[in-house]
Amino acid sequence: MQRRRKNETGWDSARILSEALPFIQRYAGQTVVVKFGGHAMGSAELTQQFANDMVLLRQFGIRPVIVHGGGPQIGKMLTRLGIESEFVDGLRVSDLETVEIAEMVLSGGINKGLAQAINAAGGRGVGISGKDAGLISAKKLREDLGFAGEPESVDVSVIDALSSADPGFIPVISPISGGPDNESFNVNADTAAGTLAGALGASRLMLLTDIEGVMDKDGNLLTDLSIDDARALISDGTAKGGMIPKLETAIAAIEAGVEAVVILDGRRAHGLLVELFTDQGAGTLIR
């Protein structure tokens, strides 16, 4: 399926569903990994809308797997505690104190709150972390990043068990992962989502964030990219900060067998449904 005309705004659920049938048939039975992050997570209204959309996917026979971030929430907690944050190449430097706070915020309040929102929408959300059932085994990403980690191996059997149940659970995954000596590692949520998408053979990896998508040097939205295009945006400096790990994640996921990756604005009403179920699309499609 070719992409698409320029992204449109003004979509509502009724308009989306009027065009949805052929797309529902296309994705039925397939896994869609969704990374939910950015400032949208700080809005109760947007979080519940997201939960409603995830339950709708499940009702259509699609298997959503959610990996959530929580950078702004971690930052707020660190500020409250008087702990300074430092970022290198868009990644948070995580000393022992920072990773303990990150685990409390991510695997605690955010994870269980998102699972609860799914349950309130009529779904069956189950909150777990990368540490549960050996889902993600991690190692240090770089010495200068402390306990910021990268996946070393994954075991998706717990996700398979949850997703294949009848009527089906919706896994909600915190990216906090375990190390070989029982350490906790703060794995970038985009990276965790991409790794799991590859291991699950996902049809789509959706990276929901707080920007419209990938921009060119003039601030214009790029709706279609190849992985070579994505590499070029990194190498020529167009991609900066947190967009770098997102594009690196997209490249790695596609090379691992994911059909396509989409970077889109999680604050946009039903943006994920527009992307999956209409010919217009939302955000930036990378394949």
**Which tens digits make up the pLDDT trace of 89-148?**
767 888 889 999 999 999 998 999 999 999 999 999 999 999 999 999 999 988 888 898
Residue position matching structure tokens 């906790």? 184
The residue-averaged pLDDT of 215-232 equals 95
SS3 state of residue 262: strand
Q: Which two tokens stand for residue 120?
A: 């309130």
Q: Of 224, 223, 177, whose CA–CA distance to 196 is shortest?
A: 177
As a whole number, the mean pLDDT across the chain is: 90
Q: What percent of the chain clears pLDDT 90, i.e. is strictly above it?
A: 66
Residues 6+ apart with CB under 8 A from 10: none
Sort 118 into a burial class: Cβ within 10 Å, 0-12 / 13-18 / 19+.
buried
The residue-averaged pLDDT of 51-70 equals 95
- Which DSSP helix (H) or strand (E) runs through 186? strand 184-187
| Residue 7 confidence class, pLDDT cut points 50, 70, 90 | low
Q: Of 244, 272, 267, 271, whose CA–CA distance to 33 is shortest?
A: 272
Helices marked H in 63-121 — which ranges? Answer: 71-80, 96-103, 111-120
Domain 31-286 of CATH type 3.40.50.880: no
